[in-house]
Amino acid sequence: MRSIARWVVSRLRRYRPDRNPLRRRSDLIEAALAAAALAAVLLSAWPAALAARTLYDGGVAAERVGPGARQLVEATLVEGTSMEEGSAVPVNGRGLPVASPARWTLPSGEVREGMVPAALLLRDGPANARLWVDAAGRPVAPPPQRAETITRAGLAAFGVVAGAAALAWACFALARHCLDRRRYREWEAAWAAADQKWRRHHI
């Protein structure tokens, strides 16, 4: 923890604006780029909050259960119905069903029948199950939990900020690399000039 604090303090001292005569023009440019990168990361908080809010509102809407939304209905697994092609996959030499023939009754009393993905069936026994359906009576995934909605919103916000930080750091690192090459050339030119001056002085 102390090492991180020391690193932060050293960076603040390095990039803080002052009237140090030893600072070169490239040092001032680097400090300005560091401030711009930090500002870009801080400004990314607004789109991060917007993304999180959008996902959260969408998740809350998907959580709704009732008329016009998802509803949980009773289903019966139909025996003796041939499964459609591709509804079973071989696992360890055995065919495990990924879809099962089922019959379910909608709240309106209408009876539906069809192939239902096994992942959507909440089995209550060998032939009984429950099933989530949408407003049109089609099988759908269960509604998300509030914790899942909050987690997705938080991950979205973190992703936006992390992406902005990575992009800002990449741009800053590239610019600093260019500045370092310029500094090296200036140092070489200065040492060459000093060498020529000292040689003339000794002669």
Q: Render each residue's pLDDT in the chain as its tens digit; 203 residues.
A: 667 667 666 666 666 666 666 667 777 788 888 889 999 999 999 999 999 999 999 888 887 776 667 888 888 888 754 444 334 333 344 444 578 888 888 888 888 888 888 888 888 777 788 888 888 888 888 888 889 999 999 999 999 999 999 999 999 999 988 888 888 887 877 787 777 777 765 55
Domain boundary (75, 105, 133) is at: 133
The pLDDT value given to residue 28? 78
Residues in the chain: 203
Report the percent of the chain where pLDDT is more than 90: 23
The pLDDT value given to residue 71? 85
- Give the domain range for residue 109: 65-133
**Is residue 55 domain-shared with residue 35, that is, in the same domain?**
yes
Domain boundary (84, 106, 133) is at: 133
As given in the structure block, the two tokens for residue 173 are 């690192």
The pLDDT value given to residue 85? 39
Distance CA 44, CA 24 (A): 31
The pLDDT value given to residue 200? 62
Amino acid, res. 135: A
Distance CA 157, CA 149 (A): 13
**Is residue 150 domain-shared with residue 110, that is, in the same domain?**
no
- Specify the 3-state DSSP secondary structure of 21: coil
**Is residue 79 domain-shared with residue 128, that is, in the same domain?**
yes
Alpha helices, DSSP H, located in the chain: 2-15, 25-43, 45-63, 146-202
Vertex 119 angle, CA 84 and 129, to 5°: 90
The pLDDT value given to residue 1? 61
User: Regarding beta strands 128-133 and 71-77, do their DSSP bridges make them parallel or antiparallel, or are they unpaired?
Assistant: antiparallel
Distance CA 98, CA 93 (A): 15
Taking the complete model, does pTM exceed 0.85, yes or no?
A: no
The pLDDT value given to residue 41? 93
**Is residue 125 domain-shared with residue 164, that is, in the same domain?**
no
Domains: count for the chain: 2
Q: What is the CA radius of gyration of the chain?
A: 32
* 4 within a domain of the structure (yes/no): no
- Contacts of residue 6, defined as CB under 8 A and 6 or more positions apart, other chains included, come to none
The pLDDT value given to residue 93? 42
